[in-house]
Amino acid sequence: MSVIQAPRGTFDVLPADMARRAVLEAHAERILGAAGYARIETPTFEATELFARGVGQATDIVQKEMYTFDDGGGRSLTLRPEGTAPVCRAYMEHGMHKLGQPVKLWYLSSFYRAEAPQRGRYRQFWQVGAEAIGSAGPDTDAELIVLLADLLLAMAVREVRLRLSSLGTPETRAEYRRELAEYLHAHEDGLSPEVVARIDLNPMRAFDAGDRTTRETMRGAPTLLDRLADEDAEHFARVRELLDGAGIGYELDPTLVRGLDYYARTVFEFTSDALGAQSGVGGGGRYDGLIEQLGGKPTPASGWAAGVERILLSASEQPIAPDVVDLFVAVAKPDADVAAFALANEARGAGMSAQMELAGRSLKGQLKHADRIRARYVAIIGDTMDVSLKDMESGAQTEVHSTAVIPTILRGSRLA
Ligand code: ATP
Ligand code: MG
């Protein structure tokens, strides 16, 4: 008798693998939490209609990747293939439009797609995702992009590239498709037979073709970015301005598309060249049409999802865990412990995580300990009112008055 194994395309997360996942979760919590995103978890399965909504659903996911089953009572259910539609359903179901907008949510959950398994592509996998519902502004899009960039940076994902584009409105897109198909038909001689065969099915595919002749021909093809309506072009220019201001590098890619037709305006994808064939780490964009498609009032929204396994595969071996302790209070003199005790208490009262020396270590031993527990700052209390404040990141150390320790740390200043 053969031994039962985990189903094809699934894997066990063993205790040894858990540590890196916990680091990712902690970074997501910290980075998204600091920007006002609250965590949400939705059911593992949903009514099938949530993902397959009538017309315009010619996506890979809907056509062939969903795990759909009958629940025995004649209802069709589907294991969630993605997180955006469930989050929007929850937003409507719980009347979150009555809250201050935008409602910012994030998740870290498992998803299910019936695909051919390979490195970085599984049938059960995890995504970390963020959605901001109820805001149409380009600043929301830029914020979301910056947050994903921060997360990938914190996880030490290697060789990251960001591609960015705007899809305009569904109307602009439909018109552009017609124009592109016309261009392709007029240039069939310069296209590969496979591309010609797909012109009316999906003209955008022609941009992905690998052969030289087709690529040459596509250089003269019209691009969607050049066809945007004024308002959409302005929105996109603002997103770019904000990203430039935040120092986020990107490549404009007018061929970037999202499968689903509820997308509008901003789209983006982060890839890692360290991944090989499955290079997509995470992507997203603005989906102003979705909530209305789900039966709600027209509600602008924007978001992204990133693959946990792909982040871990493309990250350097040891991602750096976030600081767990804001302040460690060290004592340089035996009778400094009363002041140290008071400072640690005061720091906790100000909302920081703070610990003080409790084991009677030498000063050198205390600094080693502070490093081990990943303290961001160490305050060394001596016998004067001045405290030596050490920035454990930069290594810099300055003397500050004891009353200035907490304000200095709260300002988050990197001591130089
Ligand atoms: P791909 O082009 O790789 O099929 P996708 O466009 O289907 O990706 P999205 O639906 O945008 O991907 O999902 C966001 C992220 O989730 C992807 O960038 C990827 O990191 C991850 N992802 C998607 N499908 C899988 C899968 N089957 N296994 C593992 N990770 C996945
Ligand atoms: Mg896919």
Structure-model confidence comparison of residues 164 and 19, the more confident one: 164
What confidence tier does 410 reach under pLDDT thresholds 50, 70, 90? confident
Q: Is pLDDT of 384 > 70?
A: yes
Residue 83: predicted pLDDT: 96
Please answer whether residues 46 and 80 qualify as being in contact, where contact means their C-beta atoms are separated by less than 8 angstroms: yes
Residue 8's pLDDT is 97
Ligand 2 mean position, distance from CA 61 (Å): 7
Mutation choice for ligand 1 from 125, 157, 160, 309, CB with most ligand atoms inside 8 A: 125
pLDDT at 57: 55
**pLDDT of the residue at 167:** 94
The pLDDT tens digits of the residues spanning 308-324 come to: 999 999 997 665 666 67
Pairing of strands 301-307, 280-286: antiparallel
Pairing of strands 354-356, 325-331: parallel
The residue whose C-alpha atom lies closest to atom 5 belonging to ligand 1 is 280
- For the chain, the average pLDDT equals 91
pTM of model > 0.85: no
pLDDT at 150: 94
Q: What are phi and psi of 409, to 5 degrees?
A: -70, -40
Is the pLDDT at 223 greater than 50? The verdict is yes
Give the pLDDT band of residue 111 (cuts 50, 70, 90). very high
Of 30-34, 146-150, 412-416, which range is least confident? 412-416
CA distance 286 to 304: 9
Q: Residue 201 pLDDT > 90, yes or no?
A: no
CA distance 387 to 148: 37
Answer whether residue 90 shows pLDDT above 90.
yes
- Mutating to test ligand 1, I would choose from 275, 309, 312, 314 the residue with most ligand atoms within 8 A of its C-beta, which is 309
In this structure, the residue with its CA closest to atom 29 of ligand 1 is: 121
User: Counting beta carbons within 10 angstroms of the beta carbon of residue 212, is it exposed (0 to 12), middle (13 to 18) or buried (19 or more)?
Assistant: exposed
Nearest alpha carbon, ligand 1 atom 19: 307
Q: Give the nearest ligand 1 atom to 259 CA.
A: 6
- Does the pLDDT value for residue 56 go beyond 60? no
Model pLDDT, residue 416: 43
| Region 187-198 average pLDDT | 92
pLDDT the model gives residue 58: 59
3-state class (DSSP) for residue 106: strand
Confidence (pLDDT) at 23: 92
The mean pLDDT value for 116-125 works out to 96
Which of 78-82, 141-145, 370-374 shows the lowest mean pLDDT across its residues?
370-374
Confidence bin at 139 (pLDDT 50/70/90): very high
- Percentage, residues of the chain above pLDDT 90: 75
Q: Which atom of ligand 1 is nearest to the CA of 282?
A: 18
CA–CA separation, 289 and 336 (whole Å): 62
Average pLDDT over residues 10-30: 93
Query: Quick one: pLDDT at residue 408?
Result: 85
Q: Which ligand is nearest to the CA of 81?
A: 1
**What's the CA gap between 209 and 215, in Å, rounded?**
7
The pLDDT of residue 412 is above 70: no
- Please tell me the distance between residue 271's alpha carbon and the centre of ligand 1 in angstroms: 11
Q: Are 295 and 289 in contact (CB under 8 A)?
A: no
**How high is the pLDDT of residue 124?**
98
Query: Which residues' Cβ are closer than 6 Å to ligand 1?
Result: 82, 113, 115, 120-122, 125, 127, 278, 280-283, 305-307, 309-310
CB 175 within 8 A of CB 232: no
